[in-house]
Amino acid sequence: MKFNIAVLPGDGIGPEITQQSVKVLRAVADRFDHEFNFEEAVVGAAAIDLLGDPLPETTLELCKKSDAVLFGAIGDPKYDNDPSAKVRPEQGLLKLRKELGLFANIRPVRAYESLIHKSPLKPENIEGADMVIFRELTGGIYFGEKSTAEDGRSASDLCTYSVEEIERIAHLAFKAAEERRKKLTLIDKANVLETSRLWRRTVTEIAKDYPSVKVEYLFVDNAAMQMILNPKQFDVILTENMFGDIISDEASVIGGSIGLLESASIGTENALFEPIHGSYPQAAGQGIANPIASVLSAAMMLDHLGLKKEAETVRMAVELSIKLNVCTIDINKDNHYSTERVGDFLESVISDTEGHIVNNENLNLGQMTII
Ligand SMILES: NC(=O)c1ccc[n+]([C@@H]2O[C@H](COP(=O)([O-])OP(=O)(O)OC[C@H]3O[C@@H](n4cnc5c(N)ncnc54)[C@H](O)[C@@H]3O)[C@@H](O)[C@H]2O)c1
Ligand SMILES: CC(C)[C@H](C(=O)O)[C@@H](O)C(=O)O
Ligand SMILES: [Mg+2]
């Protein structure tokens, strides 16, 4: 099949991790006889430097006409360290999400068997942890009216939600829960915030349409603690924009590194696939960034395009790299591989139609099979 994929590498480590995903996708296209046309465009600080705009019109148009968007990361210390900057890389990403109508950000989190003993968390607490966070992505405090007083001594960010904004992502989350372990946890701050009370009322109403799903409500402060103490209690998490941003970075500790956490940002017309991490500027150009979050985001893209066995093949290749410790320094401290070499390994596993790597007895890979 033929697909047009917009590639937005962005800033910092964005280009080097995205390059590995494109490599992996090319291997998938070769193996399964598809045609993927990649077209690159600038976003974030790179776009400000080039065109003075973090989301140039040409980039937005390319995303709109493509079948899917592969996004790297944006952000640059020269803006992070200048709170007065009028134009910021992050505005490019936020505008892109809004313009493409990407209201649901889906962030799976799981503990990898071979990594649980390296975690700062207790292995017995995280073994088997497996959840999906549904983060609302185009509303809330991120998009409410913003202002700073003329004297610069006060500022405000308004948090607003409508029932419709809550309903559309809640339905997606409930449907996912029906397919999984039938539990949904709404994370909010309904003891304090009006918007959170609207979330609770709306979700309680929608829950009646999904009688097989058990619904729990957790205040975000307690949820932050539960995520560390007992993450196995979570199946599907549903939450608003900012809580979802914070809780998912915290949850990445369960997986072993934020460099492993993928996401899909979905709307009715468009879809974008991005790691949950940022541009990690300290690592830019050093070849130490973990490309797996981006590669697994590309796997979510394949799923979205209806290429299920292709997506599964990418996931199995990733599992293999983790099992064999073909990993960057965030995972493999003693004998680490570079960003590019991890990408090369994944590419060679996917291209290995004879199964030489997977069936190598010396590697003792148990039941692993690549489709
Ligand atoms: N979606 C995005 O593009 C996105 C997301 C988060 C932050 N940002 C931006 O990124 C910039 C840096 O932000 P930050 O430092 O708070 O967050 P960050 O996610 O870039 O980095 C935080 C830490 O996570 C680890 N890390 C991140 N990506 C990694 C990878 N691929 N492999 C291994 N380790 C990795 C590193 O230890 C790093 O110090 C800021 O400008 C911020 O606005 C962008
Ligand atoms: C860079 C920033 C705007 C973004 C967010 O807060 O959504 C990031 O943290 C993320 O998680 O994708
Ligand atoms: Mg974030």
pLDDT beyond 80 at 358: no
The yes-or-no answer on residue 221 being catalytic is yes
Per-residue tokens: 219: 């205040």
Q: Rounded to a whole number, what is the distance in angstroms from the first to the last CA of the chain?
A: 18
Q: Rg (Cα) of the chain, in Å, rounded?
A: 21
Regarding the beta carbon of 80 and ligand 2, being less than 6 Å apart is answered: no
The whole domain housing 306 covers 1-102+281-371
CA 359/CA 72 separation, integer angstroms: 33
The answer to whether residue 273 sits within a structural domain is no
Q: Are residues 122 and 219 in the same domain?
A: yes
Q: In 184-338, where does DSSP find H-type helix?
A: 194-207, 220-229, 241-255, 292-304, 308-323
The average pLDDT across 298-325 equals 97
CA 112/CA 260 separation, integer angstroms: 10
Q: Are residues 51 and 125 in the same domain?
A: no
- CA-nearest residue, atom 10 of ligand 2: 276
Q: How many domains does the chain have?
A: 2
Binding residues for Mg(2+): 221, 245, 249
Per residue in 116-150, pLDDT tens?
Answer: 998 899 999 999 999 999 999 999 999 999 999 99
Where residue 361 falls among pLDDT bands split at 50, 70, 90? low
DSSP single-letter state for residue 159: -
Q: Are residues 206 and 145 in the same domain?
A: yes
Residue from 95, 183, 189, 214 carrying the catalytic annotation: 189
The answer to whether residue 111 sits within a structural domain is no
Regarding the beta carbon of 249 and ligand 1, being less than 6 Å apart is answered: no
CA 352/CA 177 separation, integer angstroms: 35
Domain termination site, one of 234, 266, 298: 266
Q: Best of 79, 93, 106 to mutate for ligand 2, by most ligand atoms within 8 A of CB? A: 93
The ligand whose atoms approach the alpha carbon of 265 most closely is 2
Domain termination site, one of 240, 266, 292: 266
The answer to whether residue 341 sits within a structural domain is yes
The yes-or-no answer on residue 142 being catalytic is yes
The answer to whether residue 109 sits within a structural domain is no
- CA-nearest residue, atom 6 of ligand 2: 245
Q: Are residues 83 and 200 in the same domain?
A: no
Q: Are residues 126 and 228 in the same domain?
A: yes
Q: What SS3 state is found at 184? A: strand
Q: Are residues 249 and 300 in the same domain?
A: no
The answer to whether residue 290 sits within a structural domain is yes
The answer to whether residue 272 sits within a structural domain is no
Can you give the pLDDT at residue 364?
A: 56
- CA-nearest residue, atom 1 of ligand 2: 90
pTM of the predicted model, to two decimals?
0.96
Q: Are residues 214 and 350 in the same domain?
A: no
**14 CA closest ligand 1 atom index:** 3
- CA-nearest residue, atom 9 of ligand 2: 245
Q: Are residues 89 and 121 in the same domain?
A: no
The average pLDDT across 308-337 equals 96
Q: Are residues 181 and 260 in the same domain?
A: yes
Domain termination site, one of 207, 235, 266: 266
The answer to whether residue 366 sits within a structural domain is yes
Regarding the beta carbon of 245 and ligand 2, being less than 6 Å apart is answered: yes
- Are the C-beta atoms of residues 279 and 70 closer than 8 Å to each other? no
Give the neighbor-by-neighbor strand order of the sheet with 2-10.
35-40, 2-10, 68-73, 271-273, 264-266, 104-110, 130-136, 236-239, 183-188, 214-219
The ligand whose atoms approach the alpha carbon of 328 most closely is 1
pLDDT beyond 70 at 23: yes
Q: Are residues 150 and 242 in the same domain?
A: yes
Q: Are residues 76 and 199 in the same domain?
A: no
pLDDT beyond 70 at 279: yes
pLDDT beyond 60 at 367: no
The answer to whether residue 110 sits within a structural domain is no
Q: Are residues 203 and 320 in the same domain?
A: no
Can you give the pLDDT at residue 118?
A: 87
Mean pLDDT for all residues in the chain:
96
CA 125/CA 129 separation, integer angstroms: 8
**What is the CATH number for 73?**
3.40.718.10
Per residue in 70-84, pLDDT tens?
Answer: 999 999 999 999 998
Regarding the beta carbon of 262 and ligand 2, being less than 6 Å apart is answered: no
